[in-house]
Chains A and B, each alone.
Chain A
Amino acid sequence: MRREMMRKIILKAIIMVLLVSASVTPVFGNELSAVWSRIYNTTEQLGAKLVVMQNIVDLHNRDMEPVITDALKEIIYTRDESLSFSERQEHNDLIRIMVMELGNLKAVDAAPDIYEVVKITEDDFLRSVAIVGLGTAGARDYADEIAEFLRKLNLEIIIIENNEKRESLVNACILALERLKHPDGFEPVFYASVGRYSRDSVAKADRALKNMLEDPTDLLIKIVKDDTPFSIRLAALEVENRSAASAERKTELANTAIEVSLIYNAVTPSEREYQTRTKVRACEMIRDLGVANQAAVQWLDLMLNSSENVNEIVICLQALGTYSSDEAVAVLSKYLDFHNERRALGILYKDERAIRECINALGSSGNQNAKPSLRMVEFSNWSNQTIRMAKNAAKNL
């Protein structure tokens, strides 16, 4: 016991010597900072330290960064495990105000010490404050650690039963990663946005995803290509759509989403529903962005000819309607020719929506190759309205 106490005293003395020798002479803009920092250094009692530190923090003086950093070092590296509950509370409160202020002062040099708080504290609320502090201080070197922590929370490798504590930590990670704008942070924040967290945390994650990276396309393509549920792929499309990525890059992701939706089979009814919604959303993006990425044509062709869902077919035709290329017109013509033939053979269509959408798409292509298929509509027993649409489309080419 006595030996343990001696060991602690010696350790504290060594750390104090190291701190004193390592610290830069602080410069103060005013007497308040100078007085309070001088008093802090001579104060022993934890309660008094807390009050004096509060006075220092209230000054929001940027010159106090070395003083607060040294004070934080002293507190965390000479931790006394025998503190009572209330002393421990005071101890944590003292660390909390120092970490918050170091974050406010963007004290990136204090990042290793703030991260030490993240590692050693038993108080999840204090851990949250320290994580936010790393973010506001701009400690990009710790983005990977914060991302990994959030990943473990998402995957429930770290389980925190108390909802308030868990939410506090999740929000802290999101806020820090948003601020650090590091690609490593994107994926865990994305999974937080689709996770089982509160609406508030999801909203935070959604905002963070918009701010973290200008162009998250490559990271989202990876998520879409991974063996993930279609609900995740759909969410990835929405995140991309809200991002500041260029129309070309957004179309690239939409193309990938269609490709993946055609390759992977959804097993459950709910998954099939999300699969359809993914394809529809991807086609909407291709249609609305109007980039006409040729790489997408082969997947739109496959979707058009494999789908039995009229909503999917209509939106796919609308997407193809943004193209004027020979390849796209060939896909549309092949589709119309096939149905012209069927109709000519007497097969009845209850719903001509898809045929009319195909006519619109061929008409808006402006490509002369569309004419033969459009002209065949007149001889295929379609309704008068459909025939009229085809004639107008052909005339306007």
Chain B
Amino acid sequence: MKQIIISLFAAAVLLTAGCTTVSDTQDADGKNKGNSAVEGKVQEKKTVYVANVVRETSFFNDGYIKSYTSYSYDEDMNIVREDMFDSFDQILESAVYEYSESGIESRLLYNNRGALQSSKKTIRTAEGQPLSESSYDAEGTLQTVSSYEYDVDGKKIRWTVADGVGIILSETLYLYDGGLPVSIELNDAGGKMQELFSLEYKAGLLVRKNHLDADGKIISGIQYEYDGRNLISEKYLRPNGSTHRTVLFTNDERGNPVKEEFFDGNGDLKDWIERKYEYTTEEILVWE
């Protein structure tokens, strides 16, 4: 799932950053020509690079490998396996993905002895966004169901979690301003707000996220910094503004993080993660 998100994120970043463009607006039959019905914009085909994580290695601060995860994909670049190993190449756990013809994606999680631990079934929209995620225990008993609602522009506006018999346990509401999420409200089963995340932007980039309690008191905050449009640091702040933790990102030439370094509040390196990607190209239609 994480790499799917990364892939989508990479695609989005590349789109906004302006990658190789193949335009076919000049086709004689006009089939792919721009649709001027959308605010005078034209639809164009663009080639985007999609980053698929193939290996993620976690290091201790002395450079000793803690664990690594290898990701396998089918020929359509759908993820089929995640295998996590320790530094002795011994398997720690595996996730196997299965895709049904009806479009249900299953993720089965096994422990190091091959015993099923839990599973998750995801149903997606035609655009690939999750509509529902059902989590099952090892015996196959339904335990939780996450349901998502989107507005007409495809923006997530509501996420609820219900238990196995359908009782709503939590509700999360996403509020937007100018197309960007500015507030995330966490409500209890009775719809009463319990916590809130407020998000601030500069030039369309998230620069600050505050976590507040029901009384509006700041519990924590995160400050984001960018190089161009690429995220390069996340600073986790305590309510008094002091730094609790910092994450520094090193990105590859396509803007995807290849290294994430974690520092404590004193600025001491605690550990880091390295990622390797396999890039594929994909043609998508965008409004220009």
Q: Which residues of A approach B to under 8 Å, CB–CB? A: 25, 27-31, 34-35, 38-39, 42-43, 45, 47-48, 50-52, 54-55, 58, 62-63, 86, 89-90, 93, 96-97, 100, 104, 106, 125, 132, 136, 171, 175, 179, 204, 207, 211
The answer to whether A136 touches B135, judged by C-beta atoms less than 8 angstroms apart, is no
Task: State which of A52, A93, A104 has its C-beta within 8 Å of the C-beta of B143.
Answer: A52
Judged by a CB distance under 8 angstroms, whether B113 is at the interface is yes
> Is there a chain A Cβ closer than 8 Å to B279's Cβ?
no
Contact A52 B60 (CB under 8 A): no
Please determine whether A171 and B236 come into contact, CB atoms closer than 8 angstroms: no
B172 close to A (CB within 8 Å) = yes
Q: Which of A27, A42, A47, A54 contacts B169 (CB 8 A)?
A: A42
Pairs A–B under 8 Å by Cβ, sample size 14: A28-B211, A29-B222, A31-B197, A34-B197, A38-B195, A43-B163, A45-B143, A47-B139, A48-B144, A48-B163, A50-B138, A86-B139, A89-B138, A104-B58
- B186 contacts A by Cβ under 8 Å: yes
Check if B67 sits within 8 Å of A35, measured CB to CB.
no
**A30: B residues at CB distance < 8 A:** 197, 209
**CB-defined contacts of B220 to chain A, threshold 8 Å:** 27-29, 63
Assembled-state Cα–Cα distance A197/B119 (Å): 36
A278 to chain B, nearest CB (A): 30
Q: How far is the CB of A335 from chain B (nearest CB, A)?
A: 49
Structural contact, B113 and A39, CB atoms closer than 8 A: no
Residue total for B at the interface (Cβ-Cβ under 8 A): 51
The answer, among B86, B135, B172, B194, for a CB contact under 8 Å with A51, is B135
**In the assembly, what is the distance between CA of A240 and CA of B163, in Å?**
58
9 additional A-B pairs beyond A38-B170, A93-B138, A132-B86, beta carbons within 8 Å, are A30-B209, A31-B186, A34-B186, A34-B197, A39-B161, A42-B169, A48-B137, A62-B262, A100-B93
Name the interface residues of B138-193: CB closer than 8 Å to any CB of A. Answer: 138-139, 141, 143-144, 159, 161, 163-164, 169-170, 172, 184, 186, 188
Contact B141 A47 (CB under 8 A): yes
Partner of B111, one of A35, A38, A93, A179: A93
Contact of B186 among A38, A54, A86, A175 (CB under 8 A): A38
Smallest Cβ-Cβ distance to A30: which chain B residue: B197
Cβ contact within 8 Å between A31 and B135 = no
CB within 8 Å of A: which B89-120 residues: 90, 92-93, 109, 111, 113, 117-118
CB of B118 within 8 A of CB of A48, answer no
CB closest residue in chain A, given B119: A51
B277 at the interface (CB under 8 A from A): no
User: What residues on B are CB-neighbors of A42 within 8 Å?
Assistant: 169
Q: In the bound complex, do residue A90 and residue B64 qualify as a contact, i.e. CB atoms below 8 Å apart?
A: no
The listed residue (B1, B60, B186) touching A179 by CB distance below 8 A is B60
Q: Is the CB of A204 within 8 A of B88?
A: yes
Chain B residues at the A interface, C-beta cutoff of 8 Å:
1, 58, 60, 64, 66-67, 86-88, 90, 92-93, 109, 111, 113, 117-118, 135-139, 141, 143-144, 159, 161, 163-164, 169-170, 172, 184, 186, 188, 194-195, 197, 209, 211, 219-220, 222, 234, 236, 238, 244-245, 262, 270-271
B172 CB contacts on chain A under 8 angstroms: 31, 35
Which partner residue on chain B sits nearest A164 by CB separation?
B113
Contact of A125 with B113 at beta-carbon distance under 8 Å, contacts A48-B163, A50-B118, A175-B86 already known: yes
CB atoms of A39 and B136 under 8 A apart: no
Q: A31-B184, A47-B139 are in contact. Are A54 and B195 (CB under 8 A)?
A: no
Partner of B109, one of A34, A54, A136: A54
* B139 x A27 contact (CB < 8 A): no
Q: Which of A25, A29, A35, A175 contacts B88 (CB 8 A)?
A: A175
CB distance from B184 to the nearest CB of A (A): 5
A34 touches B195 (CB 8 A): yes
Measured in the bound complex, the distance between the Cα atoms of B58 and A50 in whole Å is: 25
**Contacting pair A38 B138 (CB below 8 A):** no
Say whether B118 contacts A54, CB under 8 Å: yes
The interface residues of chain A lying within 8 Å CB-to-CB of B170 are: 35, 38-39
Distance of B130 from chain A, by nearest CB (Å): 12
Please tell me if the beta carbons of B86 and A39 are within 8 angstroms of each other in the complex.
Answer: no
| Closest 10 pairs (CB-CB, A-B) | A27-B220, A51-B143, A47-B137, A51-B135, A48-B143, A31-B184, A54-B118, A39-B169, A35-B170, A51-B118
| A128 nearest CB across to chain B (Å) | 9
**Would A55 and B244 count as touching, CB distance under 8 A?**
no
Q: How far is the CB of A251 from chain B (nearest CB, A)?
A: 28
A47 and B143 contact, Cβ closer than 8 Å, known pairs A35-B186, A93-B111: yes
Q: A51-B135, A93-B111, A104-B58 are in contact. Are A25 and B164 (CB under 8 A)?
A: no
> Is A54 within 8 A of B135, CB to CB?
yes
Q: Which residue of B lies closest to A50 (CB)?
A: B137
Contacts A48-B164, A179-B60 hold; do A27 and B244 have CB atoms under 8 A apart? yes
Q: Which residues of B contact A179 (CB under 8 A)?
A: 60, 64
The distance in angstroms between the C-alpha atoms of A58 and B184, with both chains bound, is 21
Q: In the complex the two chains form, what is the Cα distance from A388 to B18 in whole Å?
A: 81
Contacts of B144 in A (CB 8 A): 39, 48, 51-52, 55
What are the residues of chain A within 8 A of B209 when measuring CB–CB?
Answer: 29-30
Q: How far is the CB of A206 from chain B (nearest CB, A)?
A: 11
In the complex, what distance in Å separates the CA atom of A326 from the CA atom of B86? 54
In the bound complex, what is the Cα–Cα distance between A266 and B270 (angstroms)? 50
Question: Are the C-beta atoms of A104 and B67 separated by less than 8 Å?
Answer: yes
Whose C-beta in chain B lies nearest to the C-beta of A52? B144
B88 lies within 8 A of A211 (CB): no
Residues of A within 8 A of B66 (CB): 104, 136
Q: Do B117 and A93 have beta carbons less than 8 Å apart? A: yes
